Amino acid sequence: MRRLVPAALLVAGLALASGQAAAQDMEPRAYSAAPIDTNFLVAGYVHLWGHASLDPALPITNVRADVDHYDIGYSRTLDLFGRQASAAVLLPFAKGTVTGDLQDNSRQATRDGLDDLRFRFATNLIGGPALTPGEFATRTPSTTLGTSLVVIAPTGQYNPERLVNISAHRWAFKPDLGLSVPYGKWFAEASTGVWLYTENHDFFGGHDRGQNPILSLQLHGGYNFRPGLWLAGDATYYRGGSTSIDGTAKNDLKESWRYGLTLSVPLGGGFSLKLAGSAWLTHENTGTFDIVSAALQYRWFDD
């Protein structure tokens, strides 16, 4: 019976790593223009809580996850053949608790440690030429079309003798295409991509665990009150991600819509604060999680 509960908590345990919930990410202004040779240092906090989705054949009820996630990241814009591009790295740390009931017995698993390292490279394809800060300040905003690649490396805390881990112990890749359209002080954005995963060949019990790709779609619309102060409404849809053990597929295709709000506030001296919150609207074989986050950013230009 002790072995049953960790198995049932597997899906919730994977929520300890933001990389496992990556298809649910909502990031407005990801493809907006910026001047080149600009540096960004970001410290972020994310709190996630809610119910996990499990195999209904398992005799487990009331499975919940409560996760705190801390990030520190660095990003830099650059000139790539006359187009504005950017490169970023994010180092995360996660601490969370997963609980579940087996008949009248409650079980709990707690984990804390380093999460998987993330990298992102993006470049504009249309619009968004490489401009210095001075040139950027006098430009006329225009529509931009960009592309990006996110890579998640299996560097986080992982123990193959445990089913509940922070890291999924696999590589993940997300190629993405995004459009940003300004209209006066308003803006509209859309992006679509697909998460691709390698297999975990050191899964619990010496098994191989695989996951099919997840299609992701993001939609954003917002208003710029003044430079640095903006509010956006967000929505995301994702579908796919069914899993397999040793090549045997499970009937757990995932599909969900989520919605949220993001507010960016300039603080002066190169600092800004971004606050966000999101909740689920529809779901199938996915957790019903609520998420709130805060990120403090410091920006500076090269001399």
Listed by start position, the domains of the chain span 4-301
Percent of the chain with pLDDT over 90: 61
Mean pLDDT of all residues in 115-121? 95
Mean pLDDT of all residues in 98-105? 75
State the amino acid at position 294 in one-letter form: A
State the amino acid at position 123 in one-letter form: T
- How many residues belong to the chain? 303
Examine the pLDDT at 60 and tell me if it is beyond 70: no
- Residue the block writes with tokens 């990241």: 73
Examine the pLDDT at 99 and tell me if it is beyond 60: yes
Largest CA distance in the chain: 67
Task: Give the C-alpha separation, 225 to 231, whole Å.
Answer: 8
Examine the pLDDT at 16 and tell me if it is beyond 50: no
Q: What CA dihedral angle connects 149, 16, 48 and 179, to 10 degrees?
A: 10
Examine the pLDDT at 13 and tell me if it is beyond 80: no
Q: What is the pLDDT of residue 268?
A: 92
Q: What is the pLDDT of residue 106?
A: 80
Q: What CA dihedral angle connects 156, 102, 283 and 167, to 10 degrees?
A: 0
Mean pLDDT of all residues in 15-28? 57
Instruction: Provide the whole-model pTM.
Output: 0.89
State the amino acid at position 153 in one-letter form: A
Examine the pLDDT at 14 and tell me if it is beyond 80: no
Examine the pLDDT at 119 and tell me if it is beyond 90: yes
The CA-CA-CA angle for residues 92, 267, 24, to 5°, reads 35
Q: SS3 for 244?
A: strand
User: If one looks up domain 4-301 in CATH, what number appears?
Assistant: 2.40.128.130
Residue 114 pLDDT grade (very low, low, confident, very high; cuts 50, 70, 90): very high
Examine the pLDDT at 21 and tell me if it is beyond 70: no
Q: SS3 for 54?
A: coil
Q: What is the pLDDT of residue 287?
A: 77
Residue 63 tokens read as 């499975």
State the amino acid at position 114 in one-letter form: L
Residue 17 pLDDT grade (very low, low, confident, very high; cuts 50, 70, 90): very low
Q: What is the DSSP letter of 239?
A: E
- Element at 14 (helix H, strand E): helix 10-14
Examine the pLDDT at 59 and tell me if it is beyond 70: no
Residue 110 pLDDT grade (very low, low, confident, very high; cuts 50, 70, 90): confident
120 versus 250: which is more confidently predicted? 120
Residue 102 tokens read as 């087996």
What's CA 182's distance to the chain center, in Å? 24
Mean pLDDT of all residues in 121-141? 92
Q: What is the pLDDT of residue 245?
A: 87
Q: What is the pLDDT of residue 4?
A: 33
DSSP secondary structure string, 100-165?
A: EEETTEEEEEEEEEE--EEEEEEEEEES-B---HHHHHTPPP--EEEEEEEEEES-S---TT-SS-
Mean pLDDT of all residues in 187-197? 96
